[in-house]
Structure 1
Amino acid sequence: MVAIRIRRAKPILSIRNASTRFVHSSSSHPSIASSMVSDLPHLAPDDEAVVSSAVSILRELRSKRRWTFLKSVHLAGFSTAQFAHILLRIRNNPRLALGFFIFSRRHSLCRHDPLSFAAAAHVLARHRRRPAALSLLQAAVRSLDPSSSPYTDVEGINGPPEIFRTLSRTYHAFDSAPFVFDLLVQAYLQVKRLDRAVQIVRILRSRGIQPSIGTSNALIRSVSRAKGSDAGFQIYNHIFKPEPAGCDGVGVKLRVSPNVGTFNTLLLALHREGNLERPKEIRDEMESVGCDPNVFTYSILMAGYCDEGMMDSARGLWEEMAAKGIKPDIMSFNTLISGYCKVEEMERAEDLYRQMILSEIEPTVTTFEQLIKGHCKIGDIDSGLLLYQDTRRRGFGMEVSVVDELLVAMCERRRVAEGLRILRDEMRREEFTPSRLSYEVLIRGLCEEGDIEQALKLQAEMAGKGFGNSFEVYSAFIHGYRKQGDIEKVERLKDEMIVMGVGKGE
């Protein structure tokens, strides 16, 4: 039997591939650096026989017979070292390698650990099987690095996960692709292990390795959402700002630059926090790296001003966008329309709506909802109802809050019967559930008009939906009965309110 020859791997930092986008840097993780020069474990003669037998079966037999025969010959299964060497020999056939991995898990032929997971991930990565490699690494993260028991190194400090260490030291043996580390970061992000994702990126950057732009943006986005814009900026600076030279005079030269998606991610984080000052810093940074804003950039910036009612500033951005030849899309139109509706400048909002239609941009339900709410604010119910009918013709279903605003405005203008018809129309949609406010405002309107009987039917329906009687409901009926001169029922309702413990604000 010929023993398999295991070649010694060079340190991972010696990889010279344009797609890796990294350069050398001094390391602050000597324990990781030493692990990267390792390779696959050597095989004893007995192990070599098992590996050779399995490889012959996998290569020479086909279809179901291959798997049945493999299981019958190797009832005892495989050690992870044997499994890794088998994958090494069939690494040019990613489909077969993945099939073997899945079969071995399903039939418990191998107690998979970081070595076997890493071997499979490398085979898939070197053949650009990104989805399959990512799915496998997610499984590795879930089974090997649960959140309840993070890996701790011998010095008692939380160190990198073992799957990362193993991917590093087996990288050269499988002639893997650099993005396997990006996929590991993405796997941690997708299983909500943000701490590990940040840790791995910091280690890679300390060694001069930059994650891809997609992975970088995903990490910044996740950190910003979880910990705020300041934390997102820290990650941005760590990935994209050149580090000073170390004691050996070697610094990190950036090979990956931030793109418009990076800056849009940071702008979104600032927008969520209502920060209107720092976006200028982002725009200056974009200019310094030669990154042009796109229509989404302008939409975010305009949204910040619209939220604060600063429509002149928002309009200035709209005109700047037009001057640069950037065509507005549905999001930018909706953003500015919404802003004008909030400040009750409905003529400008309607002008934008007409401009959008002339530009052959189809309105969305958001477009109609904002316009309806705006018209309700200024008391133009007829215009709001025309827009509502348009939404029905287009098959849109409005948010419950928009229906509430429409019903409030209609009842204030004594158009209760029309409001009730709208509620009935909306309730025909399976996904629509009326709110307490919708019932309360209609009941109040019916009592104002003296239609107590219809109001009682609506109150019974409301109770059937699980809404208990509120102070507003009692007040509506008390007012209604008082207008009819039925003092006895007024007093009874007051007593009932006391017994039920219903007060204002209940």
Structure 2
Amino acid sequence: MAMAIAIRFPFLNLRHHLCSPFSSAANSGETLVSDVVSLLTHHRSKSRWTHLRSMYPDGLAPPEFSQIALRLRNNPHLALRFFLFTQRRSLCDHDLRSYATTIHVLSRARLKHHAQGLIREALRISPDTKPVGVFEVLVMTYRECDSAPFVFDLLIECCLEAKKVDEALEIARLLRSRGLSPKVSTLNSLICWVCRCRGALAGYEIYKEVFGVSNGGNVGNSKRVVGISPNARTFNTLMTCFYQDGAVERVEEIWDEMVRSSCAPNVHSYSVLMAVYCEDGKVVEAEKIWVEMRVKGIEADVLAYNTIIAGFCESGLIERAEELAREMELNGLESTGVTYEHLIKGYCNGGDVDSALLVYKDMCRKNFGPEASTIHAMTIALCDQSRVFEALDILRGAADDSCLLPKGKTYEVLIIGLCLEGKMEDALRLQAEMVGKGFETNSEIYTAFIEGYKKKGNKEMVEKLRKEMQDMQQKVN
């Protein structure tokens, strides 16, 4: 019976080794690790943790934990549960090495979410060593854990998530110095973060560095000499960032570089280039790009449709924009709020406010909330046709149905329109609402009120407002 109990509960053997004065420290440690592994892998899951806790009241040393986790590397979920149990029950004062072992076990099993969770913790518990210190420990334990390079991508991603861009760059450089490179997707994220924090030109310099590109200092005249190849997302990131920075001429240069690199543009690439042409008023060139994309068999997505629709609307080609909006629906792509915004503004700019109202009503039926700029465009178009109360109703309805904060200029246009129609009480109520929203009354609004009261023959109010306007101008000056 005693033998049966010993076999069933191997922790009894462990306790014997711990208490025996004749066992060497090395043998005792090895047996300890083996017995705990046996307990974890063979004991019933509901009771293994209770037995483990009872036989280890004083806890585990980090090196012992690392050896146990290493033996469990083919059962990564169990290794993670063991780590969390020792952490939750304070059975191990984990150091960077025990974290690293568990991170490697999870990474080689592609358990990204869990591995990143432990990397974040490791970064928090080692503020003195910084992310590079975590990297060095991962390097030291890499071969022992039979890990995968994927682990370093996860570390870089966690650094970027924590906005530690310099540390992420340093880790990428350290990898390159060892003849390794992060995945293309990781490098793309790195470039994107640098662009976001330091501008597109800085991002382009990092692109050249991490992909081994030399160009003699000229964007768009590069030749990749060593390293991993960039993909379409790499170039899309650069084009988007240059576009957002207002350096639209650089977008075409990056496009040319992508073509020279034998990297096929995708639908996002075409969308960015079309956006550049549309913003520059070159809608003919944008349409050529649209046609080229379709000829190459690349299916347009909602972003591509919205981009070219915006270009046509801004160029006054509203009928062509409507055709594409209908085509988009026929191709199974639902119009978005952005689609409606473009069409409404297009009709307003062309003076066809009734068509704009029809599109707006359709937009509201589909529960798309308008942007302040769209309400402003409709306000101008309606007020130009002396339909100020219709514009006011639209403003009220939009404000009631969404969290819309109208532009100060929208209030100004409405107040001026009400004053022109002699609706001074309505104008005063709207001006009070405007001030309540944090917008100041300017000289244009004062002038509108003065003219309105002048038509009403209210000289007292005219003089009062003139005095207020003079006081305001003196404070500004």
The verdict on a shared fold, with TM-score over 0.5 as the criterion, is: yes
CA distance in 2, matches of 1:422, 1:491: 33
TM (normalized to structure 1)?
A: 0.80
Which of 212, 215, 235 is the equivalent residue of 1:241?
212
Q: Deviations over 1:77-114 (max 9, x none)?
A: 32222221121122222112111222333333333322
Change in Cα spacing, 1:60 to 1:281, as seen in structure 2 (3 Å) is same
Following superposition, the deviation at residue 301 of structure 1 comes to 0.8
Question: Offset of 1:280 from its aligned partner?
Answer: 4.2
Q: Tell me, in whole angstroms, the C-alpha distance in 2 between the residues paired with 1:53 and 1:473.
A: 84
1:192 pairs with 2:163: yes
Summarize the Cα distance change of 1:83–1:449 in structure 2 as closer, same or farther, 3 Å threshold.
Answer: same
Distance 1:473 1:74 in 2: 79
Residues 13-24 of structure 1 aligned to structure 2 (within 5 Å): none
C-alpha distance after superposition, 1:252-276 (max 9, x if no partner): 9967432211221121122122334
Conserved in 2, the CA contact under 8 Å of 1:274 and 1:304? no
Aligned to 2:6: none
The answer to whether residue 197 in structure 2 is matched with residue 226 in structure 1 is yes
For residue 288 of structure 2, what is the aligned residue in structure 1?
316
- Which runs of no fewer than 5 residues in structure 1 stay unpaired? 3-42, 152-159, 244-251
Instruction: Decide which of 111, 115, 124 is 1:142's aligned counterpart.
Output: 124
Matches within 5 A, 1:203-222: 203-222=174-193
- How far 1:372 moved relative to its partner? 1.5
> Does the CA-based 8 Å contact 1:80-1:110 persist in structure 2?
yes
Change beyond 3 A, Cα 1:469–1:132: same
1:339 to partner: Cα distance: 1.9
2:4 is matched with which residue?
A: none
Counterpart pick for 1:96 among 71, 78, 86: 78
AA at the equivalent of 1:71: R
Which has the higher mean CA deviation after the structures are superposed, 68-77 or 108-117?
Answer: 68-77
Q: 2:139 aligns with which of 168, 178, 191?
A: 168
Comparing 354-363 with 292-301, greater Cα deviation is found at 354-363
Question: TM-score, structure 2 length as denominator?
Answer: 0.84
Cα distance in 2, alignment partners of residues 401 and 443 from structure 1: 17
Residue 97 (structure 2) aligns with: 115
Distance 1:72 1:475 in 2: 85
Supply the AA of the counterpart residue of 1:240.
F
Matches within 5 A, 1:60-71: 60-63=42-45, 65-71=47-53
1:161 partner SS: helix
Which residue, out of 408, 426, 433, partners 2:405?
Answer: 433
Residue 476 (structure 1) aligned with residue 458 (structure 2): no
Indicate the larger mover: 351-360 or 125-134. 351-360
Tell me the equivalent position of 1:368: 340
Structure 2 residue 268 is the aligned partner of structure 1 residue 296: yes
State the match for 1:449 in structure 2. 421
Matched, 1:278 2:270: no
CA contact (8 A) 1:295 1:327 kept: yes
| Counterparts of 1:467 and 1:287, CA distance in 2 | 49
Moved more, 88-97 or 462-471: 462-471
What residue ranges of structure 2 are gaps of 5+ in the alignment? 1-12, 15-24, 215-223
Instruction: Report the 3-state secondary structure (helix = DSSP H, G, I; strand = E; otherwise coil) of the residue aligned with 2:179.
Output: coil
Alignment match, 2:350: 378
Letter of the 2:206 counterpart: I
Q: Give 1:283's aligned amino acid.
A: W
Match of 2:142, SS state, is coil
Percentage identity across aligned positions?
Answer: 46
**Which whole-Å deviations, capped at 9, do the CAs of 1:160-212 have from their partners, x for residues lacking one?**
71211111111122111221111111111111111111111111112221211
Q: How many residues align?
A: 446
Q: Which amino acid in the other structure matches residue 183 of structure 1?
A: L
Output the amino acid matched with 1:462: M
Deviates more, 1:466-475 or 1:444-453: 466-475
Following the alignment from structure 1 to structure 2, what is the Cα–Cα distance between the partners of residues 293 and 503? 58
1:83 aligns with 2:65: yes
The change in CA–CA distance for 1:480 and 1:172 in structure 2 (over 3 A counts) is same
> Could you tell me which amino acid in structure 1 is paired with residue 426 of structure 2?
Q
CA deviation map 1:202-259 (0-9, x unaligned): 111122212112212212222222222233223323333379xxxxxxxx99674322
Q: Is the Cα–Cα contact under 8 Å of residues 369 and 402 in structure 2 kept in the other structure?
A: no
CA distance in 1, matches of 2:213, 2:429: 70
Residue equivalent to 1:59: 41
Instruction: Write 1 or 2 for the structure with the bigger share of helix.
Output: 2
Q: Distance in 2 between matches of 1:486 and 1:455?
A: 15
Counterpart residue identity of residue 79, structure 2 = A
Aligned to 2:305: 333
Find the counterpart in structure 2 of residue 8 from structure 1: none
Whole-Å Cα distance in 1 between the matches of residues 39 and 291 of structure 2?
Answer: 69
* Range with greater deviation from structure 2 (394-403 or 431-440): 431-440
What does 1:379-418 align with in structure 2 at a 5 Å threshold? 379-418=351-390
Letter in 1 for 2:126: L
Contact 1:470 1:502 in 2 (8 A): no
| Structure 1 residues 33-81: Cα deviation after superposition (integer angstroms, max 9, x where no partner) | xxxxxxxxxx855654654554454334444543344334333332222
Q: 1:55 to 1:389 in 2, by over 3 A?
A: same
Partners in 1 of 2:240 and 2:364 — Cα distance? 32
Change (3 A) 1:281 1:455: closer
CA 191–354 in structure 1, closer or farther in 2 if over 3 Å, else same:
same
Answering whether residue 468 of structure 2 is matched by residue 486 of structure 1, we say no
Secondary structure of 2:49's aligned partner: helix
